[in-house]
């Protein structure tokens, strides 16, 4: 009854107001599925920078494949552990070959069954180029990030790159002519690490690591892969023993990338009965260690370039099994293996390799740099010239090169 009374006494309802005009939202661009594979710590860093460049450019993409911790932090999903691919040298790879080939076959099958819009191989040419070639034949566009060093050794790989890659992103300026002459679409994007790293600041780095402002420090970088630690840890520790005898006030910093490499190095310290040496193990902080150090002893690889970019004078060393060394020697095109020397095209940084890589020789080279400020400064001056050549707006250039693949 109450409802009826209310209805009986109700005023006529006004005509409804016209509905406001509504703007039809535009459909969001589709998310591009991008498969990506990196094989070791340096590739993981480069891959993470590429992923962020794509995302920052507003290109909606989902990345998956084989990724390390940095790529996963940037948003990539890893289907297989990256560490499986982190094998050094021909001989050393034989023990892991069956598992590596099984992973490549399984990944290739997944991608052909459910094709991504784009496949990106980050370095690791021995793994990625064959995978890229199969995917390209299946109609999947492929981009190889970092052209294989055909200018340094194994020049015939340029034909394999042509068959494998729809496009190559180059990180060294002198590579453009090589790829242009080979008829391979390529873009020089500058070196991602050169773009990402700030200007070196030794004082700030020492503050971050709580080091003495006027102390003498040597950074030790024996490699990021477990195989490298197993091969080189004892050599680096014995070098510290010799150098510490000559310069007892020197302190040593060793940044290690994960628990496995840290455990391997600690075990090597115990075997060498060297736990009392003034070595400080860092979990990560490689860039801080290189900035803070007066000099560094570095296993040949990307770390030599990072030290260049951080104004860290260095000595380069490496040891591989005799057979691996002979294979590499026969295919080498240049007299150097260190990127600082290759970029400078001269003997700028000491390279002490294979049988010459003894604790005595390495300690002597490091001591020479520590005692000769002019030699350290000569390295740093050339480092700054090369840093200017390598530094570009790399994220913008990467995004510009990838946009046609992700939008087209």
Checking if the pLDDT of 18 tops 90, the result is no
At residue 142's C-alpha, the angle toward residues 138 and 148, to 5°, is 125
Q: What is the pTM of this model?
A: 0.76
> Residue 70: CB partners within 8 Å, gap ≥ 6?
44, 45, 47, 48
Higher pLDDT, 36 or 28: 36
194 and 54 in contact (C-beta within 8 Å)? no
In whole angstroms, how far apart are CA 399 and each of 54, 197, 393? 5, 19, 10
Provide the pLDDT for residue 28: 59
Instruction: Using DSSP, state whether 171 is helix, strand or coil.
Output: coil
Among the listed ranges 103-107, 135-139, 282-286, 330-334, which one has the minimum average pLDDT value?
Answer: 330-334
Which H or E element spans position 167? strand 167-170
Phi/psi at 100 (5° precision): -60, -45
Instruction: Using DSSP, state whether 234 is helix, strand or coil.
Output: helix
Checking if the pLDDT of 334 tops 80, the result is no
Checking if the pLDDT of 14 tops 60, the result is no
**pLDDT-based confidence at 5, cuts 50/70/90?**
very low
Please tell me the chain's helix, strand, coil percentages from 3-state DSSP, rounded to the nearest 5: 50, 15, 35
Question: For residue 144, what are the β-bridge partners?
Answer: 121, 168
In whole angstroms, how far apart are CA 364 and each of 130, 237, 245? 43, 14, 12
Provide the pLDDT for residue 185: 97
| Residue-wise DSSP of 250-290 | -EEEEEESSHHHHHHHHHHHHHTT-TTS-EEEEES-HHHHH
Question: For residue 353, what are the β-bridge partners?
Answer: 318
25 and 95 in contact (C-beta within 8 Å)? no
| Extended beta strands in 60-136, E state | 61-67, 77-81, 118-122
Strands 295-299 and 186-188: what pairing? unpaired
Domains and CATH numbers, the chain: 32-190+392-407 (3.40.50.2000), 202-390 (3.40.50.2000)
Residue tagged 């990838």 (tokens): 402
Of 342, 344, 337, which Cα lies nearest the Cα of 378?
344
CA separation for the pair 297, 179 (Å, rounded): 33
Token pair of 57 as six digits: 């450019």
Higher pLDDT, 391 or 337: 391
Among the listed ranges 39-43, 63-67, 119-123, 371-375, which one has the minimum average pLDDT value?
Answer: 39-43
Checking if the pLDDT of 229 tops 80, the result is yes
**pLDDT-based confidence at 11, cuts 50/70/90?**
very low
> Residue 390: CB partners within 8 Å, gap ≥ 6?
171, 172, 173, 190, 191, 194, 309, 343
Among the listed ranges 7-16, 249-258, 279-288, 317-326, which one has the minimum average pLDDT value?
Answer: 7-16
Checking if the pLDDT of 41 tops 90, the result is no
390 and 194 in contact (C-beta within 8 Å)? yes
Query: Percent of the chain scored above 70 by pLDDT?
Result: 88
CA separation for the pair 132, 164 (Å, rounded): 5
CA separation for the pair 55, 119 (Å, rounded): 16
Average pLDDT over residues 188-200: 91
CA separation for the pair 118, 116 (Å, rounded): 5
Interval 266-288: pLDDT, tens: 999 999 999 999 999 999 899 99
Provide the pLDDT for residue 332: 65
Higher pLDDT, 324 or 156: 156
Provide the pLDDT for residue 150: 86
| Extended beta strands in 306-388, E state | 314-318, 351-353
Provide the pLDDT for residue 222: 94
Among the listed ranges 153-157, 279-283, 344-348, which one has the minimum average pLDDT value?
Answer: 153-157
Q: What one-character DSSP code corresponds to residue 61? A: E
**How many angstroms from the chain centroid is the CA of residue 92?**
21
Which H or E element spans position 37? strand 32-38
**How many angstroms from the chain centroid is the CA of residue 151?**
19
Q: What is the CA radius of gyration of the chain?
A: 27
Checking if the pLDDT of 192 tops 70, the result is yes
165 and 143 in contact (C-beta within 8 Å)? yes
Query: Percent of the chain scored above 90 by pLDDT?
Result: 72
Residue tagged 């104004």 (tokens): 311
Interval 65-123: pLDDT, tens: 999 999 999 999 999 999 878 655 444 555 578 889 999 999 999 999 999 999 999 99
């Amino acid at each position: 009854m109450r409802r009826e009374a209310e209805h009986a006494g109700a005023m006529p309802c006004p005509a409804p107001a016209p509905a406001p005009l509504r703007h039809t939202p535009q459909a969001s661009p589709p998310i591009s599925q991008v498969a990506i594979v990196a094989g070791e710590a340096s590739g993981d860093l480069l891959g993470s920078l590429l992923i962020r460049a794509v995302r920052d450019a507003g290109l909606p993409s989902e990345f998956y494949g084989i990724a390390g911790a940095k790529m996963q932090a940037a948003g990539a999903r890893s289907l297989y552990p990256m560490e499986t691919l982190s094998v050094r040298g021909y001989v050393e790879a034989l023990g892991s070959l069956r598992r590596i080939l099984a992973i490549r076959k399984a990944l290739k099958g997944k991608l052909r069954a459910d094709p991504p819009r784009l496949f990106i191989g980050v370095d690791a040419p021995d793994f990625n180029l064959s995978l890229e070639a199969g995917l390209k034949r299946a109609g999947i566009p492929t981009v190889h990030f970092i052209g294989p060093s055909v200018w340094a050794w194994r020049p015939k790989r340029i034909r394999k790159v042509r068959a494998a890659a729809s496009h190559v992103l180059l990180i060294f300026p002198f590579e453009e002519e090589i790829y242009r002459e080979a008829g391979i679409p390529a873009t020089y994007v500058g070196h991602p690490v050169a773009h990402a790293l700030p200007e070196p600041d030794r004082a700030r780095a020492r503050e971050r690591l709580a080091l003495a402002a006027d102390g003498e420090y040597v950074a030790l970088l024996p490699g990021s892969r477990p195989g490298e630690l197993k091969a080189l840890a004892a050599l680096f520790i014995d070098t510290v023993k010799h150098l510490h005898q000559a310069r007892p006030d020197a302190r040593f910093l060793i940044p290690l990338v994960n628990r496995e490499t840290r455990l391997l190095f600690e075990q090597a310290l115990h075997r060498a009965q060297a736990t009392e040496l003034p070595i400080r193990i860092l979990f990560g902080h490689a860039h801080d260690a290189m900035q803070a150090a007066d000099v560094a002893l570095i296993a040949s690889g990307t770390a030599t370039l990072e030290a260049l970019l951080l104004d860290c004078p260095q000595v380069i060393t490496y040891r591989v099994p005799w057979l691996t060394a002979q294979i590499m020697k026969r295919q080498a095109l240049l007299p150097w293996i260190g990127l600082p020397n290759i970029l400078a095209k001269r003997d700028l940084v000491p390279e002490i390799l294979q049988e010459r890589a003894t604790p005595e020789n390495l300690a002597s080279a490091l001591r020479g740099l520590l005692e000769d400020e002019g030699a350290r400064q000569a390295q740093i001056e050339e480092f700054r010239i090369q840093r200017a050549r390598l530094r570009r707006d790399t994220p913008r250039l990467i995004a510009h090169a990838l946009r046609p693949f992700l939008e087209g």
